[in-house]
Amino acid sequence: MSAGRFAPSPSGDLHVGNLRTALLAWLFARSTDRSFLMRVEDLDRVRPGAEERQLDDLRAIGLDWDGEVVRQSERLALYEDAIDRLTEAGRIYPCFCTRREILDAPSAPHVPPGSYPGTCRDLTEEERARRAVERPAALRLRADVAEWTVTDALHGEFTGVVDDLVLRRNDGVPAYNLAVVVDDGEQGIDQVVRGDDLLTSAPRQAYLASLLGHAQPEYAHVPLAINTANRRLAKRDGAVTRGELEERGVDVLRLIAASLGLEGTTALDLLDGFDPQALPRNPWTFVPPA
C-alpha cells in the first residue's frame, strides 16, 4: 500500500497550525493518489475527550481518511517485537543515565553537540548490575553510523546526526522514535508530511527503519505556524483553535488556504492545482482575530 498519514497526540485541542499541517499532509497524499491514514499517538499524555475533538476538527475542515483510526496504545506488541529483533541482532543496550548526566557528560571529539555521548554503551556486566540497583534502565539503539541522509520534497537532501537513540524509556513505554518508525513501516506509510521542527529527527528514524527492514519514506517537512513573537504557535497565544476562531466569524479552512497561497471553499477545491513546490518556505505568522 502507498499511503500518507497524520498522527496527532491527544494531549489537547488542535490549534490552527496543527490543522494547517494536517491539511498539507492530506493534500500531499490525495494529490499523489495515496491512501490517507489517521493514527493517534497516545503513548504519553492523553487528555480525556481530546481525541474526539481533534477528529471532529479535522472532519470540520473537510479532511477524510481511509480505514479505521489506529492508536499506538493498541500496538504495543509490535513495538516489543521490534525491540526483540534488534536485541537479537545485538543492536540494543541498557542505559541508566539521567537527563542531567547526559547534559553534563563531556562529549568525545567525534560526538556532535546534543547527541548521546555513549556513556552506557560499553559498561561491563558488573557495572550494569550496580547501576540497575540505582534506577531502571532505558534501552538504546547501538548505532553503527554517525549520520544519515534523507530526501525531502521541500528541503532537498538533508544529512543529519544519528546517535544511540532511546527505544524504550525507563518507565517501560516505547519511545516516540521507535513507535513512529514501526507504525509507518507496518502501515505502509511511504510519505511523511509534518512540521519542519522534526526535520532533524528524520535521519535517525530513516536509519532505524533500515535496520528493521522498512523502506525509507518520502519526506516533506513543512513550515510551522508561529506567533507574533516569532515563537511556535501555542494555545496561550489566544484564539487559535477551530472552535474559538469560528466563534469570531473566521472561516478556518479559507484562512489556512490563504496562508498557503491556495484558493477554494472546500478541501477538495484545494486539490486543483496543488503544487508542493509553490508552497511557502517560511513560517506562517498567525495573528489571532480581535
**Residue 95, annotated ligand binder?**
yes
In sequence order, which residues have a C-beta less than 8 Å from that of residue 78 and are 6 or more positions away?
A: 182, 183, 186
- Could you write out the three-class secondary structure of 53-87? HHHHHHHHCCCCCCCCCEEHHHCHHHHHHHHHHHH
**Residue 35, annotated ligand binder?**
no
**Residue 267, annotated ligand binder?**
no
Dist CA 143 CA 177 (whole Å): 14
Dist CA 74 CA 66 (whole Å): 18
**Residue 79, annotated ligand binder?**
no
Q: What is the enclosing helix (H) or strand (E) of 169?
A: none
**Residue 116, annotated ligand binder?**
yes
The whole-angstrom distance between residue 69's C-alpha and the CA centroid of its chain comes to 17
**Residue 132, annotated ligand binder?**
no
Which residue(s) pair with 6 in the sheet?
Answer: 38
**Residue 93, annotated ligand binder?**
no
Catalytic choice (47, 232, 235, 248): 235
235 is a catalytic site residue: yes
CB 8, CB 41: distance < 8 Å: yes
Dist CA 68 CA 37 (whole Å): 8
**Residue 97, annotated ligand binder?**
yes
The whole-angstrom distance between residue 49's C-alpha and the CA centroid of its chain comes to 21
Dist CA 42 CA 44 (whole Å): 6
Please enumerate, by residue number, every residue annotated as part of a binding site. 5-9, 41, 95, 97, 116, 120, 176, 194, 235
Q: Which residues are annotated as a binding site for L-glutamate?
A: 5-9, 41, 176, 194
Show which residues are catalytic. Answer: 235
| Known binding-site positions for ATP | 235
